């Protein structure tokens, strides 16, 4: 019994590690806000994104309406916190680079705001498939940036004028994609590394639990 509890904790720890890393990504935070806006406009179905829980609750009943409103409020909280976070980032960017003390303080506030948005995203009972899609989106952007960096290195190896023009174009494209993702390629790679570690940790614990249950059945 103690072993089962320990394995369940390991599974939860791996899942939390993965979700923390995903939800702190600026790209995923922007995606969550977009989902929130679509839900607010009723252009998407709430059920396609969240697990509303008890399947015995009748659709359209007072209890069903209550849980749907609660889920919508969680999305509204994400939007509000992300807006506040963006304002903190603007304040940080407005501080003169020479004022290191004030910049450090402003960046600390922005970082805390980013964590608050992350926590709000993790409060949403997203269906498992959505977390996987968030992870896949990070992988896709990282792959695109990796490809562009390889192209830059190839072009830099040539001394022709056209190659140098191409290098500048590619670097502009990289900056544009990093700006949209809200992270550099190295940051994305680190995030993906943490996500994979969390997934492996959760899967290993799940496999060990299945094996332990099988041993109990056999014995």
For 141-181, the pLDDT digits (tens) are 999 999 999 999 999 888 788 888 999 999 999 999 888 88
- Per-residue pLDDT of 41-80, as tens digits, reads 988 999 999 998 887 888 889 999 999 999 999 999 999 9
Residue 98 scores a pLDDT above 80: yes
Q: What is the pLDDT of residue 5?
A: 72
If 0-12 CB within 10 Å is exposed, 13-18 middle and 19+ buried, where does residue 123 land?
Answer: middle
Which conformational region is residue 17 in: left (phi greater than 0), alpha (psi within -120 to 50 degrees), or beta?
A: alpha
Q: What is the pLDDT of residue 127?
A: 92
Helix (H, G, I), strand (E, B) or coil at 64: helix
Label residue 104 by pLDDT band (50, 70, 90): very high
Please state, in angstroms and rounded to a whole number, the distance separating the CA atoms of residues 164 and 169: 9
Residue 35 scores a pLDDT above 80: yes
Tokens in use for 60? 């359209």
Label residue 3 by pLDDT band (50, 70, 90): low
pTM: 0.80
Which conformational region is residue 95 in: left (phi greater than 0), alpha (psi within -120 to 50 degrees), or beta?
A: beta
Q: Which residues contact 98 (CB under 8 A, 6 or more apart)?
A: none
Please state, in angstroms and rounded to a whole number, the distance separating the CA atoms of residues 205 and 13: 10
Regarding the domain delimited by 2-218, which CATH topology (the fold level of the hierarchy) does it fall under?
Answer: RNA Polymerase Primary Sigma Factor (1.10.601)
Mean of pLDDT values over 99-111? 94
Label residue 219 by pLDDT band (50, 70, 90): low
Label residue 1 by pLDDT band (50, 70, 90): low
Q: Which residues contact 146 (CB under 8 A, 6 or more apart)?
A: 185
């Amino acid at each position: 019994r103690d072993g089962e509890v320990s394995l369940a904790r390991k599974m939860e720890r791996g899942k939390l590690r993965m979700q923390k890393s995903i939800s702190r990504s600026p790209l995923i935070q922007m995606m969550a806000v977009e989902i929130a806006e679509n839900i607010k406009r009723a252009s998407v179905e709430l059920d396609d994104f969240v697990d509303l829980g008890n399947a015995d609750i009748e659709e359209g009943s007072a209890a069903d309406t209550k849980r749907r409103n609660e889920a919508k409020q969680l999305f509204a909280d994400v939007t509000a916190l992300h807006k506040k976070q963006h304002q903190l980032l603007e304040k940080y960017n407005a501080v003169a680079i020479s004022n290191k003390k004030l910049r450090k303080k402003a960046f600390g506030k922005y970082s805390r705001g980013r964590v608050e948005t992350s926590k709000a995203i993790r409060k949403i009972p997203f269906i498992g498939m959505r977390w996987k899609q968030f992870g896949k989106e990070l992988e896709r952007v990282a792959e695109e940036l990796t490809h562009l960096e390889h192209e830059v290195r190839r072009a830099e190896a040539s001394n022709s004028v056209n190659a140098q023009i191409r290098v500048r174009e590619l670097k502009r494209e990289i900056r544009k994609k990093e700006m949209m993702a809200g992270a550099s390629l190295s940051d994305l790679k680190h995030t993906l590394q943490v996500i994979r570690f969390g997934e492996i940790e959760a899967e290993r614990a799940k496999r060990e639990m299945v094996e332990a249950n099988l041993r109990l059945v056999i014995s």
